[in-house]
A = this chain, B = another copy of it.
Amino acid sequence: SDSYSLLILPGDGIGREVMAEVRKVIDWLGANRGLTFRVEEGLVGGASYDAHGTPLTDEVMARAQAVDAVLLGAVGGPAYDDLDFSVKPERGLLRLRKEMDLFANLRPAQCFDALADFSSLKREVVAGLDILIVRELTSGVYFGEPRGIHADDNNPDNEGGRVGVNTQRYTSGEIRRVARAAFELAKKRGNRVCSMEKANVMESGILWREEVQWVHDNEYPEVELSHMYADNGAMQLVRRPQQFDVIVTDNLFGDILSDAAAMLTGSLGMLPSASLGAPMANGRPKALYEPVHGSAPDIAGQGKANPIACILSFAMCLRYSFDRAAEADAIEAAVERVLADGVRTADLMGPDGGTAVTTGQMGDRIVAAL
């Protein structure tokens, strides 16, 4: 039987609770499908800061580089809001992304039929929605230099006397590799890619558009490619999201647009993500999987969290890291079945009420449906 190494980083808040449910699925696969996972655990985010004064230690970083895949819960919380930028919980996440070079962040926005009424959008606009946002994750304004806050005391026109700077910087190579990821994914789906930028006001957007077009024309002429300004993209996502198949965009636009897209489905607690890099020696891509939702400090520790996003993230892990499509499909089907049976965590309760199950009960039900 195959053996897979996993580093689990539960992180903060509900990250820990939802990860416990993933463990149940892992155990089930071991017992029933003969898949052996070598699982280690580590600290990240606020939890790591509390223990070590840094959101990610070199030791955990090295382990992340060595395993087949990393599963992450969530990082952050109000206790860390006033920390210095350099030790914020988010920095743990950004360091993982950057050093593992996870350039392609896959964020599916799928509307589960049983939950279509949870959306603030009309049922007919979102029912059956199935789009995939591919966000560039290791470059752009998140990482560009120079950056910082500087004194600007000698400028009499600058009341307050400071300047804040960040740099949006993309190389053609960075754009091409994420474009390739998007085209490859589109070929297995609807065969359509829409690329979003602001080429009308930013040169980095012009480069983005030209390089995506280049990859298309030279390598994927059979995939349908369109370009859209990101502001129009935000509008179209709200107006008629079903027009899209795969969307490819930069780090910052991807952050904003994927959150808007996630919310279309009405169930943020349901949405997984995968962050993929280049193939390792064993042929598997560097990979980190995490739910789209955050650490939700307001409900942490109360057994209210929805573990589905994290469990579906693990399903993506089976699919993209371990080529275990059958098991990934089985987990997704189990989730659908449990939802169709009306099992709901607190975040999925309609105005009509009903009784919510706990995080643990939801995990048990999904395992039982496997």
Contact = CB atoms under 8 A, between A and B. Distances in A.
A170 B163 contact: yes
A231 B234 CA distance: 12
A255 interface: yes
A203 B147 contact: yes
Nearest to A294: B232
Contacts of A167: 165-168
Interface string A185-210: 00000000000001011111111100
Contact of A172 (B85, B159, B204): B159
A361 B134 CA distance: 45
Nearest to A241: B120
A208 B162 CA distance: 11
A120 B205 CA distance: 29
Contact of A94 (B144, B201, B257, B264): B201
Interface stretch (A59-67, A149-157, A329-337): A149-157
Contact of A168 (B141, B149, B162): B141
Interface in A277-329: none
Given A121-B122, A256-B230, A207 B142 contact: no
Contacts of A163: 169-172, 207
A125 interface: yes
A355 interface: no
B240 A257 contact: no
B147 A171 contact: no
B203 A85 contact: yes
Contacts of A148: 203
Given A125-B120, A238-B238, A256-B256, A155 B171 contact: yes
A183 interface: no
A204 B239 CA distance: 31
A252 B198 contact: yes
Interface string A90-127: 10001000000000000000000000000011100100
A158 B141 contact: no
A167 B165 CA distance: 7
Given A173-B157, A207-B149, A142 B201 contact: yes
A235 interface: yes
B214 A231 contact: no
B141 A160 contact: no
B214 A232 contact: no
A209 to B, nearest CB: 10
A31 to B, nearest CB: 38
A161 interface: yes
Nearest to A172: B160
A255 B230 CA distance: 9
A163 B256 CA distance: 23
A366 interface: no
A88 interface: yes
Contact of A120 (B90, B94, B207, B240): B240
Given A203-B147, A235-B260, A255-B231, A158 B172 contact: yes
Contacts of A211: 160, 162
Contacts of A168: 141, 164-168
5 contacts: A121-B121, A141-B141, A152-B171, A231-B256, A231-B258
Given A141-B141, A158-B171, 11 more contacts: A149-B204, A149-B207, A157-B173, A161-B172, A162-B211, A165-B169, A166-B205, A235-B260, A235-B263, A238-B238, A256-B256
